[in-house]
Amino acid sequence: MPDPVGLRGRLAASTPVLLVQAAHPRQAVVTAVAMALAAAALDRPPREVGTVALTVLVGQLLLGWHNDLVDAERDARHEARGKPVADGRLERGQVWYAMALAVLLLVPLAVSTGLRAAACYGAALLVGFAAHLVLRRGRFSWLPWALQFACYPAYLTYGGWGGQAVGDPPAWWFTGLAALLGIGAHVLRALWGLVPDDLDGWTYLPLALGRRLGTSRLLGVTVAYLAVVLGAVLILGSSVGPRL
């Protein structure tokens, strides 16, 4: 008899595919590639660039899984699409198990580019986890994003090769612009969820801006803002240098 589900259906319902779906894969890949490009721009050798990319990818998977666990009931209430934890296709225990394995992989990856760099990236992750639990609904929702992104320059400039590697601290402008970049990323990431957030009575920064400007205009303003910040990073990076 022909299989009514088919290979594609079984594959889509498999635990590995569901775990990838629950991890916010697009955001994870974009962030990992961006950090790898930043490491390459800092003249880090290829093996370090690859390690940075893999470390950030694993960290972003952890953040994505944690976010879907925290938001599972809310996503189910709003019937959000592509949320396997919320719709019951993926059990919470499976996600926690995947997170535990990811942590076991993340620690040696982060430490392989230096203890100080690992501590900076670990701090960024802790701020990201905390952001899923506090401040996200109020007017200070931008603060965890700014703090998280502000940790990234130190992770990049302190990094080297081996656990004892110690690089240089980041320039103050690099940290500051990274924080501003985080605020823009927060607004951009929130744009597609403004309607359910409004229904839930949230008062956070992107929603306040969306009510005033409208979603389409806010998208344009956010893209322009990010372009200006990135342009400033490129100009100062080439003229002043990203390290102290």
* Residue 196 pLDDT > 50: yes
Task: Please give the pLDDT value at position 197.
Answer: 86
CB atoms within 10 A of CB 224: 11
% of the chain residues with pLDDT over 70:
96
- State the Cα angle at 198 between 193 and 201, rounded to 5°: 130
Say how far apart CA 103 and CA 90 lie, in whole Å.
Answer: 20
Q: How far is CA 68 from CA 28, 73, 75, 102, in A?
A: 14, 9, 8, 16
Average pLDDT score over the chain: 91
Q: How sure is the predictor about 3, in pLDDT bands with cuts at 50, 70 and 90?
A: low
Examine the pLDDT at 1 and tell me if it is beyond 50.
no
pTM, two decimal places: 0.92
164: Cα separation from own chain's centroid: 27
Has residue 5 got a pLDDT over 70?
no
